[in-house]
Amino acid sequence: MPSGEVILEARDLVKHYPIKTGVIRRTTGHVRAVDGVSFDLHRGETLGVVGESGCGKSTLGRMLMRLEEPTGGSLRFGDVDVYSQSGAAMRRLRRDIQIVFQDPYTSLDPRKTVGDIVVEPFQIHPDFLPRNKWRARVRELLDLVGLNPEHINRYPHQFSGGQRQRIGIARGIALNPKVLICDEPVSALDVSVQAQVVNLLESLQDELGLAYVFIAHDLSVVRHISDRVAVMYLGKIVEIGDDQQIYERPTHPYTQALQSAVPVPDPAVRGQREQIVLQGDVPSPANPPKGCRFHTRCWKAQAICATTEPPLAVASDGAGEHAVACHFPEVRAAIAP
């Protein structure tokens, strides 16, 4: 829970991608992929980040490890201002924040053996471990993520999807990072395998004291693993709070819609629950609606919602840290799945 110290502090993060058109590639607009995102990540905690495809989750994840240069905003890792570092200091920082990508089929080089893939972080950061220890450490890492160290010379295609994601995780934790960004790490996997990979991430967190930013496109996946959840819509956080708040007392209409779509295994409970079906598509992040970005799809929208953007305000129910960006916040007690 967010009792530990703040390890990552994101403030007003913005990433706009230029849209270039015509033969001279003139910039005719911007995709506002991330448009003012702030949050704290505490040591050892898991922050779930949830929202529909295209809302800026992966861009945010890449910004947190500075794989993207920001259009605006600041990021602190402990006492360090991440975006003002360069050279050796930035390289040192990269050890501490690592990423596991969504698709284990495309994120692993098919021409490299598992050993070559997992040893890469040591090659990139040669000060981390003496060269003569690399191979033994790779075998240890494979064992730690539940793979057979004897398979060190196999190629990615010789593994299942779940096993490939374990290879990606082994690479992600090789340098003992403090923060691991998990960008939809189980979305490409069969449902039966998803839980195994989530369980692995949880046990690694306990063992290694990692903090996770765990990205997913629906709430059901992050439910089990998150201490807190941030809900994103069109480049912004619309609600952030602890997992109970988000699942049992969602306050933003968008969160309520996502929550109502979480599958309910118990048919008796399922019958009592009303699913909120959102009308229309997600608007383009190149031209987001004025006022509240969600107002075009919101069943509670009033005149003010089309003109005035609601700030992400701390909600006043006193139940822990919780903030919601809505002019008409109202808890919708949800029947827990």
Ligand X SMILES: Nc1ncnc2c1ncn2[C@@H]1O[C@H](COP(=O)(O)OP(=O)(O)O)[C@@H](O)[C@H]1O
| Site residues, ligand X (CB under 6 A) | 17, 31, 33, 51, 53-59, 285
Q: How far apart, in Å, are the Cα atoms of 136 and each of 38, 125, 149, 158, 207?
A: 40, 17, 10, 22, 19
Letter for the amino acid at 113?
Answer: T
Q: Which does 305 bind (CB under 5 to 8 A by kind): Mg ion, ligand X, none?
A: none
Shortest Å distance, C-beta 97 to ligand X:
17
Longest dimension (CA), the chain: 67
Shortest Å distance, C-beta 109 to ligand X:
21
In the complex with ligand X, which residue's Cβ is closer, 44 or 51?
Answer: 51
DSSP letter at 130 equals -
Q: Which does 42 bind (CB under 5 to 8 A by kind): Mg ion, ligand X, none?
A: none
Q: Which does 75 bind (CB under 5 to 8 A by kind): Mg ion, ligand X, none?
A: none
Residues that bind Mg ion (CB under 5 A): 57-58
Query: Distance (Å, rounded) from C-alpha 337 to C-alpha 334?
Result: 9
DSSP one-letter string for 55-82 = SSHHHHHHHHTTSS--SEEEEEETTEEG
Shortest Å distance, C-beta 140 to ligand X:
32
Shortest Å distance, C-beta 53 to ligand X:
4
Query: Distance (Å, rounded) from C-alpha 58 to C-alpha 260?
Result: 24
Using alpha carbons, select from 39, 1, 68 the residue that is nearest to residue 312.
Answer: 39
Q: Which does 59 bind (CB under 5 to 8 A by kind): Mg ion, ligand X, none?
A: ligand X
Q: Which does 33 bind (CB under 5 to 8 A by kind): ligand X, Mg ion, none?
A: ligand X
What are the contacts of 128-133 at 24+ separation with CB within 8 A? 128/95, 128/175
Using alpha carbons, select from 296, 191, 309, 319 the residue that is nearest to residue 247.
Answer: 319
Q: Which does 285 bind (CB under 5 to 8 A by kind): Mg ion, ligand X, none?
A: ligand X
Query: Distance (Å, rounded) from C-alpha 329 to C-alpha 252?
Result: 6
C-alpha angle 107/112/115, rounded to 5°? Answer: 100
Contact in structure between 253 and 244 (CB atoms under 8 Å): no
Shortest Å distance, C-beta 51 to ligand X:
6
Shortest Å distance, C-beta 103 to ligand X:
12
Q: Which two tokens stand for residue 119?
A: 């040893």
Shortest Å distance, C-beta 68 to Mg ion:
13
Using alpha carbons, select from 40, 30, 37 the residue that is nearest to residue 51.
Answer: 37
Q: Which does 107 bind (CB under 5 to 8 A by kind): Mg ion, ligand X, none?
A: none
In the complex with ligand X, which residue's Cβ is closer, 51 or 162?
Answer: 51
Shortest Å distance, C-beta 19 to ligand X:
8
Contact in structure between 241 and 229 (CB atoms under 8 Å): yes
Contact in structure between 97 and 77 (CB atoms under 8 Å): yes
In the complex with ligand X, which residue's Cβ is closer, 77 or 101?
Answer: 101
